[in-house]
């Protein structure tokens, strides 16, 4: 059982690391949002694996809550991208100055 937990934890860590790499390296806002979703899915996989390993429903409940928040975050993020793309015509993070405080 512990070997399978380690496998899930490794896959979750790889997903999280790939998502973090995408957030830090890429400039396109769409790719950054997708990378953030990838990071969140790595965390969800880890929480689900711990829930199975500990035979506790807490991991499942946290995963369900996290997926609900991720869905609403995606909707809001895509809505912001649509508004920004109508005004700026480009979606690169290093060229956006209009959203500063």
C-alpha to C-alpha distance for 40 and 69, rounded to whole angstroms: 10
Q: Confirm whether pTM is higher than 0.85.
A: no
Q: Which residues of the chain fall below pLDDT 70?
A: 1-2, 88-101
The per-residue pLDDT for 12 is 94
C-alpha to C-alpha distance for 81 and 50, rounded to whole angstroms: 35
Domains recognised in the chain with CATH numbers: 2-95 (1.10.287.3510)
The per-residue pLDDT for 14 is 96
The per-residue pLDDT for 32 is 84
How far are the Cα atoms of 18, 34, 60, 63, 66 from residue 22, in angstroms, in the given order?
6, 8, 27, 22, 20
The per-residue pLDDT for 97 is 61
88-95 long-range contacts, CB within 8 A, separation 24+: 91/28, 91/29, 91/30, 92/27, 92/28, 92/29, 93/27, 93/28, 93/29, 93/32, 94/27
The per-residue pLDDT for 58 is 81
pLDDT in tens, 70-89: 888 888 888 877 777 777 66
């Amino acid at each position: 059982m512990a070997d399978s937990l380690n496998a899930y934890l490794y896959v979750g860590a790889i997903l999280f690391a790939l998502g973090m790499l995408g957030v830090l390296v890429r400039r396109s806002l769409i790719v950054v949002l997708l990378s953030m979703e990838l990071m969140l899915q790595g965390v969800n996989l880890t929480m689900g694996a711990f829930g199975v390993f500990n035979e506790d429903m807490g991991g499942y409940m946290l995963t369900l809550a996290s997926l609900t928040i991720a869905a609403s975050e995606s909707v809001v993020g895509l809505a912001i991208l649509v508004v920004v793309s109508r005004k700026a015509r480009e979606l690169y993070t290093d060229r956006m100055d209009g959203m500063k405080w």
